[in-house]
């Protein structure tokens, strides 16, 4: 029952994250597309509609669109394969590990769906400091991917693996799920 509950909560988290991402992008298209930037915290945070047909930080923007599209879809498919393999290999990992994968997957899927149906990704969250500093405009999917990657990195850094040479057969219990 405990395992089924964890799977259910991860599924709900997946649906909620996808819904928030796609919902906020839809709202940005409806209310921000043809309006001026909306100040949330003056001189620091605003909602500003942009359409990014490149990748993060507008990388690849200088590559001609047909070639850029091939590169973006190819890397996206490769990323989904790697993410799928990571999810499969980590099926016995902690709940936090699976949560990180769900965050990364929902962000990637959200941006992929956007790109697939609209040909671009809607970005609308802008951090800046007056006219002195401006962070690239991003969206909820980008936040999810970043949070998932940070959580995954922290989990990898704090992982306590037993080196093979220190592992004795007498130390291993057959029913210990963390070893097998």
Q: Which active-site residues does the annotation give? A: 123, 142
Distances (CA, A) of 16 to 33, 63, 121: 24, 35, 19
| Cα–Cα distance measured from residue 178 to residue 112, given in angstroms and rounded to the nearest whole number | 34
Q: Quick one: which of 120, 147, 128, 132 has its CA closest to 58?
A: 120
Task: For residue 41, give every residue at least 6 positions away whose Cβ sits within 8 Å of its Cβ, in sequence order, or none.
Answer: none
């Amino acid at each position: 029952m405990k395992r089924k509950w964890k799977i259910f909560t991860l599924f709900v988290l997946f649906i909620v994250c996808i819904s928030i991402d796609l919902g906020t992008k839809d709202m940005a298209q409806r209310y921000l597309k043809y309006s001026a930037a909306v100040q949330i915290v003056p001189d620091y945070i605003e909602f500003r509609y942009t359409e990014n047909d490149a990748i993060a930080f507008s990388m690849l923007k200088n590559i001609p669109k047909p070639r850029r599209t091939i590169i973006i879809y190819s890397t996206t498919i490769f990323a989904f394969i790697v993410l799928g393999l990571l999810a499969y290999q980590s099926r016995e990992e902690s709940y936090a590990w699976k949560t990180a994968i769900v965050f990364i997957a929902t962000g990637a899927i959200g941006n992929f769906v956007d790109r697939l149906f609209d040909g671009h990704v809607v970005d609308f969250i802008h951090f800046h400091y007056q006219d002195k500093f401006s962070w690239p405009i991003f969206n909820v999917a980008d936040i999810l991917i970043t949070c998932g990657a940070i959580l995954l990195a922290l989990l990898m850094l704090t992982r306590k693996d037993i080196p093979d040479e220190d592992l004795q057969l007498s130390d291993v219990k057959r029913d210990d799920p963390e070893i097998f």
